[in-house]
Amino acid sequence: MAPQTQKALLLSEKFGKFVVGDTGVYKAGPGEVLVKVKSVALNPVDWKVQKYGAFIENYPAILGCDIAGDVEEIGEGVEGFKKGDRVLSQNATFQNKYGGFQQYVITLGAALGKIPDSFSYDEAATIPLGLSTAYTGMYNPGPHGLGLAPPTSPETQGKYIGEPFVVLGGSSSVGQMVIQLAKISGFSPIITTASLHNTAELKQLGATHVLDRKLSVEDLSAQVNDILGGRPLKQVYDSISLPDTQKTGLALLAPGGQLELVLPASVTTPEDKVVNTIVAVLSFPHNLEILGPLYRKLITGWIENGAIKPNRVEVLPNGLEGIVGGLKKLEEDAVSRAKLVAHPQDTI
């Protein structure tokens, strides 16, 4: 039985400081599951909420989007789980009961996946938000996504054989997931930009070509055109979405092509191209509709058979207190191709 109180990392006020404090443990309502959090992964959105005051209006606030742990309590209407099941979830809803930076968290039963026995909680926690962002951006219809056929059946897996795909920022958490989903969907070639020391790892994920992210637009376009051999490029997923990468994505696309962004558009879209932007908030109906089948039916098998691989893990010390220093490292861009993971239960 869960305790009545717990430790949580609280953002005290808008633009305020993170502090560890006590809060109540939630009850699982209809459609919800209470999870004892064993591992929680950090994401850039966590420090951006603190620095820019985005998304949150009620304080103190509890952040944290990527959780892995054990089922503690099951709410009415949730089927397929029992107490003690090892699970993972993407909890990007920006409500305190869903925030992963605490010892017990509420998740939506409709988008909760089981962790294979061969995987650790730390590995599992590196997957959800990156995968959800990649998946919704690729398979949601516009204006949220590229509108591709989700690879939910043998008929749709491999559907895009022979069609090229470009991922800008392939070594980011989202970029790595996009590469793997593009492979599941059959795209080829899969071209990505990254620092070249990541080439071997990105090719293991499914990239066929890794090009230097420092190339000029002209040089990158020339190399992509050589790889394509005259085939039109219809899909670019920009997992970085800064102004320069957005301009690059548009330059690479053929007329009629689509550019998918993870940040708001800062470019003027030509009449003959389309720009979409994904916001991977789980509670948005269009996201929950497409993510439900991913978590309930697909994710466990994909992790188990290696179709989706976890990120590298760097464990932070001191439980929830270690998150503060970890978020500073993320803000300073001092983390490369790894996920910072904390253990809330280690909090003293």
* pLDDT per position as a tens digit, 196-250: 999 999 999 999 999 999 999 999 999 999 999 999 999 999 999 999 999 999 9
Q: What is the pLDDT of residue 64?
A: 96
Q: Which two tokens stand for residue 190?
A: 């899969």
Same-domain check for residues 331 and 291: yes
Q: What is the CATH number of the domain that holds 119?
A: 3.90.180.10
**Residue 136 domain-assigned (yes or no):** no
75 belongs to a structural domain: yes
**What pLDDT was estimated at residue 250?**
97
Nearest alpha-carbon partner for 120 in 264, 276, 311? 311
Residue 185 belongs to some domain of the structure: yes
User: Is residue 70 situated within a structural domain?
Assistant: yes
Residue 280 has pLDDT above 90, yes or no: no
The CATH number for 243's domain is 3.40.50.720
* Same-domain check for residues 66 and 105: yes
pLDDT over 90 at 282, yes or no: no
Same domain, 247 and 317: no
The pTM (predicted TM-score) of the whole model is: 0.95
Task: For residues 192 and 8, give the distance between their C-alpha atoms in angstroms, rounded to a whole number.
Answer: 38
DSSP, res 210: E
Domain end marker among 243, 277, 311: 277
Q: Which of 220, 251, 277 is the last residue of a domain?
A: 277
Residue with the two structure tokens 């730390």: 122
Shared domain for 47 and 167, answered yes or no, is: no
Domain assignment present for 181: yes
3 state DSSP class of 107 = strand
DSSP 3-state of 249: helix
- Residues 5-18 have a mean pLDDT of 96
256 Ramachandran zone, left/alpha/beta (phi>0; psi -120 to 50): left
The model's confidence at residue 168, banded by pLDDT at 50, 70 and 90, is: very high
Q: Are residues 109 and 146 in the same domain?
A: no
pLDDT at position 23 over 90: yes
Q: Is the pLDDT of residue 55 over 90?
A: no
Residues 94 and 204 in one domain: no
Shared domain check, 272 and 291: no
| 99 within some domain | yes
Residue 241 sits in the same domain as residue 333: no
Same domain, 87 and 164: no
Q: Are residues 264 and 308 in the same domain?
A: no
Which residue spans within 96-199 are E strands per DSSP? 104-108, 112-114, 165-168, 190-194
Task: Classify residue 69: in a domain, yes or no.
Answer: yes
291-336 confidence digits (pLDDT tens): 999 999 999 999 999 999 999 999 999 999 999 999 999 999 888 7
| Span 65-96, pLDDT tens digits | 999 999 999 999 999 999 999 999 998 788 99
Residue 180 pLDDT more than 90?
A: yes
Q: How many domains does the chain have?
A: 2
Cα torsion at 47, 52, 53, 56 (round to 10°)?
Answer: -60
Token pair 């490292």 in the structure block, residue: 329
Answer yes or no: do 43 and 105 share one domain.
Answer: yes
Which one of 224, 249, 277 terminates a domain?
277
Question: For residues 248 and 296, what is the distance between their CA atoms, to the nearest angstrom?
Answer: 36
Q: What is the pLDDT of residues 120-137, one digit of tens each?
A: 999 999 999 999 999 999
What was the pLDDT predicted at 283? 79
pLDDT at 339: 94
> pLDDT exceeding 70 applies to what percent of the chain?
100
| Residues 97 and 46 placed together within one structural domain of the fold | yes
When pLDDT is averaged across residues 155-169 and rounded to a whole number, the result is 96
Residue-range definition of the domain harbouring residue 10: 5-131+282-346
pLDDT at 281: 81
Residue 199 lies in a domain: yes
